[in-house]
Structure 1
Amino acid sequence: MDKFEVVSPENIEIEYSRAGLGSRAAAVMIDYLIQWTVQLILLLSVFFFVFKADTSNLEENFGWAIGIFLVVFWGINYLYFIILEGIMNGSTPGKRVLKLRTIRNNGMPITLKHSLVRNLFRVIIDNYFVGVIMMFFRKDKKRLGDIISSTVVVGEGEEILVYNKNLGENLSLENNIFITEEEKEIIRDYFNRKESLGENSDKVLNDLMTYFKKHYQFPEENYSFEEALKKLL
């Protein structure tokens, strides 16, 4: 996955990993397998309904059954991605397995409007290999739906919040790195249990350093990592 950066509304640079062709293709195949399974069950249900129906109205029942099947079939194709991206924060079962998600070009979560647009183009154009071909020839690996809706698929949980020295000379560490409430709770737990950890406190601190430096880019100057953690609370 190649990297790209966006600047958040808080003027924090966030570095994302753009999803590659292989991972996106694998995610789509998982989603299609789920769709095909549901559609197969639906098709078998239609045949069961037709053959179990009153034979005197077989032609009429068959017409209704096929009509309902086609409507639901198209709905599954289109609404599957829209609904799941909405409730799974830009992800789908396939993307979740491959640890991918869809975001807007500015790094913000996608809205219903973005999902509607990108998936409309998926159904009417990109499903016919147009999107795959475009992804091969574009540096940003975007299909037409991504271009029109201003979205991009990135690696889930691989974003890095970058300490930006150019944002202002007086900005301190805690003003440049924003961590989650869960991460704050982990830090608090470390300081609350530090004394009882004894010799293991250094190992725990080292584990925290490994985790936070993987997800957040700290300034290069010499500083106490333990003191830095306190400032983030």
Structure 2
Amino acid sequence: MQTIEINTTQNVVIQYEMAGLKERILAFFLDSLIIWSSVFILAAMLASTVGEVITYIVTSLIFFFYTLVSEIIMDGQTIGKKALKIKVIKLNGKEPVLSDYLLRWVFRIVDIYFSLGTIASILISSSDKGQRIGDMMANTVIIKTDPTIGFGLNDILKISSLENYNPEYPEARKLSEESMLLVQNLLHTINKHPNKAHGEALTMLVDKLCSELNIEEKPKDKKAFLKTLLKDYVVLTR
């Protein structure tokens, strides 16, 4: 599983799971199927009514501009990318703009069409960020929108002996595993990238959990509170 860390404009570091070559190729073939199906269907429908010239213009527009228009109106996705749960994002944490999508689209000629996908495949496989030329020029990467969670709470928190452990927050059993994974990820991020933005995120998460668990007295040591909550959850739910 290859990941990438992106520092957002709010100075918050977010870790994404990068889309692999397999997902990108499958998305490309799915989009190609959609394009060619649309071209053939429209050609059959329009040829007898508007003439060959208009038919050629309409089908050419679909063929050449499908990817560009789709990524612009679907926030970095085409139908193929959406089906494979991947999307285009910027490395600097900002939202991609029209010029970014244009650069990616223009360099498809070199990356994919002229080289039959060879250049794109080699660069995506060998690049640390999985970028083809178009991505390098536009400063973009493609990430998974539904990343694989390759670990559970038993892997996150190793407690050697629980026989005599007395949970401090029995209400922790009400929380979901997703909430606890979020707690662990935030603790990991804060330890690795301590800054004001992550400190604010820590405060917000602690306030939310205290509210959910009806804990009236807010803990002074927020990180210690979250670590204790993790332990309690593991003990109470295993």
TM-score (norm 2): 0.62
Is contact 2:3-2:15 (8 Å) kept? yes
For residue 191 of structure 1, report the CA deviation from its aligned partner.
4.6
Matches within 5 A, 1:82-121: 82-121=68-107
Secondary structure at the counterpart of residue 16 of structure 2? strand
2:138 maps to 1:149:
yes
For residue 3 of structure 1, report the CA deviation from its aligned partner.
0.7
Matches within 5 A, 1:33-182: 33-49=33-49, 65=52, 67-123=53-109, 125-128=111-114, 129=117, 130-158=119-147, 162-163=189-190, 166-168=193-195, 171=196, 175-176=200-201
The gaps in structure 2 that reach 5 residues or longer are 149-184, 215-220, 230-238
2:35 maps to 1:14:
no
Residues 132, 89 of structure 1: CA spacing in aligned structure 2 closer, same or farther, 3 A cutoff?
same
TM-score (norm 1): 0.63
Residues 113, 177 of structure 1: CA spacing in aligned structure 2 closer, same or farther, 3 A cutoff?
farther
How many residues are paired up?
182
For residue 68 of structure 1, report the CA deviation from its aligned partner.
2.9
**Percentage of pairs with the same residue:** 26
The gaps in structure 1 that reach 5 residues or longer are 51-60, 196-218, 228-233
For 1:45 and 1:178, how far apart are their aligned partners in 2? Answer: 60
2:2 maps to 1:2:
yes
For 1:165 and 1:135, how far apart are their aligned partners in 2? Answer: 27
Deviates more, 1:84-93 or 1:31-40: 84-93
For residue 157 of structure 1, report the CA deviation from its aligned partner.
4.4
Is contact 1:100-1:153 (8 Å) kept? yes
For 1:91 and 1:226, how far apart are their aligned partners in 2? Answer: 40
For residue 150 of structure 1, report the CA deviation from its aligned partner.
1.3
Residue 209 of structure 1 corresponds to none
Amino acid at match of 2:89: I
Amino acid at match of 2:113: N
Residues 164, 107 of structure 1: CA spacing in aligned structure 2 closer, same or farther, 3 A cutoff?
farther
For 1:74 and 1:144, how far apart are their aligned partners in 2? Answer: 24
Secondary structure at the counterpart of residue 163 of structure 1? helix
